[in-house]
Amino acid sequence: MASFDDNAARAKRRKIEGDATFPVTAEITSYQQLRDILRFQQNISQQTKQGIRQFKEFLASIHGDISESEKSKKLQVLEKYCASQYVKRGDETPPICFTDLVSIWNFAESNNEESTLSLIPSVLASFLKTVSSHLEFREFSIELSKYLLSNENIKLFNRGLTASKSKEHLISPCLRLLTEIVSFDGGAVAKVVYAKRDITLKRLDVFLTMRKLQVGKITADRRKPTLRRIAQRYLLANLRYQSPAAKAELLSQGKLIKVFIEDIKRDSGDIVVDIIKTLDKFVVSDAVLSRNVKSRLLSRWNLERFATLYGYEKDSEEIIPEGVSVSDEIHKFLLSVCTNVEKGVLLSDNGWYSSGNSTEPLINDNETISLGLDAPSHFDKFNEPIPIRNGNLSTLIQFLRPESDTRQMQLLLKIFQAAPELVYDYFSKRNMFNSDPKPTQAWLGESAFLFSTIQLPVPQKCGFREGSPTVPPPVSVAIESILPRPLTQQMLTRCINQNTEIVTLFAIKATTAALRKLRGVLKMFDSMGSSNPELWSQASTKLMNEFTSRCPTMKDTIIAFRQSPKDDLLQRDALLELLSLYYQVAPTVAFEQKFDVSLVLVEVLDQLSNDELSTENRQLLFSQLQHILTISQHSPAMRWWQKPAPLTLSVFTSVLKVAVEKQEHSARAKINSLLQDVLTQDSILIQPGSFEALVLSIQLEDENTPVPWSFIDNCLTRLAKRPVPYLDQVSSLPSKSSLISPILVVISEQWPFIVKAQDEMNELFTASWISKLLGYLMEYGEDKNALTSVRDTILIETKVKKSRSLLKKAFDHGTEAHRLVLAEEARMGGTRTLPSSSATQEVNLSDVFGKMQMADETHAGLYEWEREDLELAIDQGYIGNLILCVCSEHEEVRRQAMAGLSRFMAKLKESSFEERRTIYVLVGELLETVKGLGLDTPAPFIVGELAVRMFAILTNPSHKLYGKINTFLNRSPQWEVGKIPSYWIDKILYHEPESDDGNREEIGWLLDLFVCGLKSELDMDIYRRAGVFERLFSLYSSPSLTGGLRKKVLHLVYRVCEIGGSTTLITRAAALSWVQGQAAISDAHSSTLRALATELYRTSSSEWVNRWSGSALAAAVMSTGASSKIRPFASPTSKYTANPAQPLINTNRLPTHPAPGLDPKSTSKKNSDRSPLSALNSSTDPPYL
């Protein structure tokens, strides 16, 4: 019995492995095999299922790692099978495709075979995905898609999409198949899918809803193909390929979009990036979709969900592939949609004029008393949140955390720039910066954000869009953009008094930046207040009062400065800058407390006397000195002529000594300007040029001749303290003009005391200084008769022969050995320079000016710019190199440059570069100009150089020529090349500069343009016709022109010699006569002028010039003291080189009469019609020799 039971038990245990496994079919090599394994039968057996799986594996193998020949064979098999499964029908219904598979799917649907219902759509999706990149399957696949979506088969999708949500194995394959159908061939069948939307889009919002298990627990592998992920891919495919109307209808389904975005932070990184890019490209950037449709997607709630993605990497444990960053992508997306009016979020506003403001001017009449901004009807009454247009953005910015994420800070700042009305709205609602001022992470983040907010530019016209505002914006709104509400006076004072340097520096720098911004706003109020100046002036006063109630007091700032360590030069420099701005911008605050700046000045001068200072510390000290002098310029209590205990000289003379002896600092020019103002305002010197003469007389002392500082200080202080008696004596001096400095009278009065002291060395040093001062004052235009009278008076009292000898040579400095050349200013110089001590010293002009840079033979500018990001290419100067290629001598290079500039314009138009509009106009006008000139010949270099220099200025709106450049670009879409030089000469030399201190910079820019733009004979012809040289020769003689600018004029002359245009310059512009006249004057560039005279004659056609001038010019060159080695013309850079055996000029064709204008009496009218240069131009020889 027991044995029977055991056998019975064993009989019930059946081994099913062998029965369940279907024999593996051989590899598919023909379409007949596919037909056999996929043949429809009236039942769904294991064999049928195995055949379907084998077909799926066959499809997968095509994408596998197989050879191209093997793949081609399999595709041929598949193509033949598709042809065998394609049956056309006579009516308009789509052909029948995949008869067997679809029949099996229908049979499974009728018999509720869930495994087959899941398997068939999965295989069809794999098929469409496999053949999507093969053109031969396109027609069949499209017909298959239409057949599957026909009325007879749509029920199959309905069966899967209506299944319970727990049966994902039925839903997911249908969604995958629909996704492939929508995406196939760029959406060729997408409209058919949308036409069946009652089924194809059924319950999509349900499928997108994450299951509770998924919400409660974030799985480690977020890329697992969940139902939500598959549904997301399906919706994204519809947003990509559906028509604008279909997309608009989808986006209007609020519930669908909500569940799509709701749990986006829990999705995998790849799908999140795909969602962001799809929405950006196919929805937000779709110009056909209306703004209302985009606004439905970018609602307040959805924007907040998007903003949560900033912390995706921080909160996620998922390993993100390299190069994929969700936070970067969402940052780009939000920057785009929040700062562009066309993207559906941003609404144009009126800046500081809120939507609830009235901008109508206040009505004043004789029967009422105008209360201005204090009138009850005026709008400046906002202490609570004001009405705004950008409500969605207002909600979003409150959700951001700029203190903890730099990207969120950048987004918020960009929103503030795009919608200035939100600055007040943000700070009126946000409570921040309440913690103790300590360098914690949160405090540092908030302080960085507030400082960046202050640094935002002031919106043009305060943000007013239509016309010009007639009334000022609310002061309560404007102040939030200048010094935000969290930065109260109490908070800033606490920060300044902290012992932590970074906290103190923040308060100082923030207040400094706010003062600069306030100055800009006040200037804007002043410029816009022409219609109602009283009202705008009242607004300026109210704004200043509001600012002073928030900024630190002068007392606290001075205390902080006095308590700051003297070795902390950075902090002291920042505090002095803040104090100087108080005097310039907010004098009411500055005058609240007395500040003895002279003592601070003494300390700085004492530190500067230390020769062991590092370069950085010396620069900081000179910066402090500059701020102190600014304070002293505005402070009426400044004691320039006092002599504090540590100093042996007065404060003024001590500063002058430092400015003269320490020349290697950037603040020197401004310090000299301030000292010059003091001397001229106190009537010590008669004109600014006299200050330059004073500085030169001190600077040019050699090491063996000390400067008599005590005597100089004594004369300056006497005149400053008792000016009236000395001014009366000035009027008694013999003079033909009123240009005579009163300091000379004091020197004459004090000289006898030097003689009576019987200190021969001191007398000699003092006489040497007086001699130089008299000579330089004469050179700078002071009356020679008066100077001679002073010199003679001093000579009467002088007994020492050496001193008398020096004084007698006061006006003859050209041959004195002590006249050393000053170092040229870095750019255009603040002090005039004087000539070398040796008149016969040889000067190498190529060392002085450098050699002319020839064109880059590699033409790297054609392609360098495309290798970099657009903004980086602009900053690195690659676009400038591209522009200069239009001047190349090679036609192919010029054509490539034109094409490159066109591509650059296209990229620029699509970029977000701030100055893209003006640069776009510039490049467009350049292209039109070059096209007008024709590509057969190179464009003149003056055109290319002008474009490059204007390009650099347009990227820097703070440049002093920015306005003039824009005016030039607005004149015409095409430039008149021949009028370019005369236009800029007129606008710069004959018109006032745009800024008070911009004259020298504008002239320097013009001269640099002319030098760099002269590289060919064509440029020379343009210059000649525009009269460039005659005008610049006249400019050279201007008393206000600095030595650096004069050097640029001489550089232009040398450039003419380099390109072989000397003959033209000599005969047309009288260049040698001009050089002879300038070299005769005591000038810093006398030796350079003499060398230029030699170079002009040497590089000209000497035979022609001698015949033209009757050998007078050769004698003139020798009379200047130039080198006697006058050689035949052989310019190293000109392609026309003299050959001794064959003269350059055809002498048989030369006219025998002199040039017109040289001898009018002996020149007939007939001959005067033909100049020597016209003979040159008509000959076979080159025109510019």
Residue 1042 and residue 688: Cα distance in Å, rounded?
12
pTM recorded for the entire structure: 0.63
Least confident of 92-96, 346-350, 620-624, 1098-1102: 1098-1102
Residue, of 322 and 1002, whose pLDDT is higher? 1002
C-alpha 485, offset from chain centre: 30
Residues shown for the chain: 1185
Q: Which two tokens stand for residue 218?
A: 């974030």
Residue 268 and residue 309: Cα distance in Å, rounded?
12
Residue 938 and residue 424: Cα distance in Å, rounded?
56
> Is 1029:1065 a contact under the CB 8 Å cutoff?
yes
> Is 808:768 a contact under the CB 8 Å cutoff?
no
Least confident of 508-512, 960-964, 991-995: 991-995
Q: Which two tokens stand for residue 861?
A: 């500018």
Q: For 389, which DSSP code?
A: S
Least confident of 171-175, 940-944, 958-962, 1155-1159: 1155-1159
Residue entry with tokens 């055996």:
1141
Q: Which two tokens stand for residue 370?
A: 């105008």
Residue 1061 and residue 406: Cα distance in Å, rounded?
59
DSSP H stretches of helix in 308-418: 312-315, 326-338, 391-399, 406-418
Which pLDDT belongs to residue 681?
A: 78
> Is 327:313 a contact under the CB 8 Å cutoff?
yes
Which pLDDT belongs to residue 460?
A: 86
Which pLDDT belongs to residue 1110?
A: 59
Residue 271 and residue 227: Cα distance in Å, rounded?
13
Residue 825 and residue 844: Cα distance in Å, rounded?
20
Return phi, psi of residue 470, to 5°: -95, -15
Closest residue by Cα to residue 109 from 145, 58, 53, 152: 152
Closest residue by Cα to residue 711 from 682, 674, 752, 739: 752
DSSP H stretches of helix in 876-940: 878-884, 891-910, 916-933
Least confident of 288-302, 446-460, 583-597, 930-944: 583-597
Confidence of residue 187 (pLDDT cuts 50, 70, 90): very high
Closest residue by Cα to residue 719 from 770, 684, 677: 684
Name the maximum alpha-carbon separation found in the chain. Answer: 159
Does the pLDDT of residue 357 top 70, yes or no?
A: no
Cβ within 8 Å of residue 605, ≥6 positions away: 625, 647, 654, 655, 658
Question: Percent of the chain scored above 70 by pLDDT?
Answer: 81
Least confident of 889-898, 1051-1060, 1128-1137: 1128-1137
Question: For the chain, how far is it from start to end, CA to CA, in angstroms?
Answer: 133
Cβ within 8 Å of residue 857, ≥6 positions away: none
Confidence of residue 1063 (pLDDT cuts 50, 70, 90): confident
Q: For 38, which DSSP code?
A: T
Does the pLDDT of residue 981 top 50, yes or no?
A: yes
Residue 181 and residue 1047: Cα distance in Å, rounded?
75
Cα angle 878, 882, 885; round to 5: 145
Query: Coil, helix or strand for 1183?
Result: coil
Instruction: Please state whether 150 falls in left (phi above 0), alpha (psi between -120 and 50) or beta.
Output: beta
Residue 924 and residue 904: Cα distance in Å, rounded?
10
Confidence of residue 876 (pLDDT cuts 50, 70, 90): confident
Least confident of 483-487, 596-600, 958-962, 1116-1120: 1116-1120
The burial of 926, by beta-carbon neighbours within 10 Å (0-12 exposed, 13-18 middle, 19 or more buried), is given as buried
Does the pLDDT of residue 307 top 90, yes or no?
A: yes
Residue 340 and residue 355: Cα distance in Å, rounded?
19
Report the range out of 35-39, 272-276, 369-373 with the highest average pLDDT. Answer: 272-276
Residue, of 444 and 835, whose pLDDT is higher? 444
Confidence of residue 454 (pLDDT cuts 50, 70, 90): very high
Task: For 849-871, give the secondary structure using H, E and C.
Answer: HCCCCCCCCCCHHHCHHHHCCHH
Return phi, psi of residue 190, to 5°: -60, -40
Does the pLDDT of residue 1133 top 50, yes or no?
A: no
In the chain, the amino acid numbered 672 is N
Which pLDDT belongs to residue 983?
A: 92
In the chain, the amino acid numbered 601 is L
Mean pLDDT of 568-583: 93
Number of helices and strands in the chain (H, E): 63, 2
Mean pLDDT of 760-785: 89
In the chain, the amino acid numbered 919 is I
Least confident of 266-270, 433-437, 595-599, 926-930: 595-599
Confidence of residue 1064 (pLDDT cuts 50, 70, 90): confident
Residue 909 and residue 903: Cα distance in Å, rounded?
10
Residue 577: beta bridge partners?
A: none
Residue 1071 and residue 1063: Cα distance in Å, rounded?
9
Does the pLDDT of residue 665 top 60, yes or no?
A: no
Which pLDDT belongs to residue 994?
A: 82
Cβ within 8 Å of residue 385, ≥6 positions away: 425, 428, 429
Whole-number mean pLDDT of the chain?
A: 80
Residue, of 825 and 108, whose pLDDT is higher? 108
Least confident of 182-186, 661-665, 1109-1113: 1109-1113
> Is 757:767 a contact under the CB 8 Å cutoff?
no
Does the pLDDT of residue 407 top 90, yes or no?
A: yes
Confidence of residue 872 (pLDDT cuts 50, 70, 90): confident
Does the pLDDT of residue 139 top 80, yes or no?
A: yes
Residue 129 and residue 233: Cα distance in Å, rounded?
14
Does the pLDDT of residue 511 top 90, yes or no?
A: yes
pLDDT tens per residue, range 700-709 = 556 667 889 9
Which pLDDT belongs to residue 1125?
A: 45
pLDDT tens per residue, range 715-757 = 999 998 888 888 888 878 887 666 788 999 999 999 999 999 8
Which pLDDT belongs to residue 519?
A: 93
Query: Coil, helix or strand for 96?
Result: strand
> Is 651:642 a contact under the CB 8 Å cutoff?
yes
> Is 1021:1068 a contact under the CB 8 Å cutoff?
no
> How many of the other CB atoms lie within 10 Å of CB of 239?
22
In what helix (H) or strand (E) does residue 846 lie, and over which residues does it extend?
helix 845-849
Which pLDDT belongs to residue 338?
A: 94
Which pLDDT belongs to residue 577?
A: 94
Mean pLDDT of 1088-1109: 76
Closest residue by Cα to residue 492 from 512, 507, 504: 507
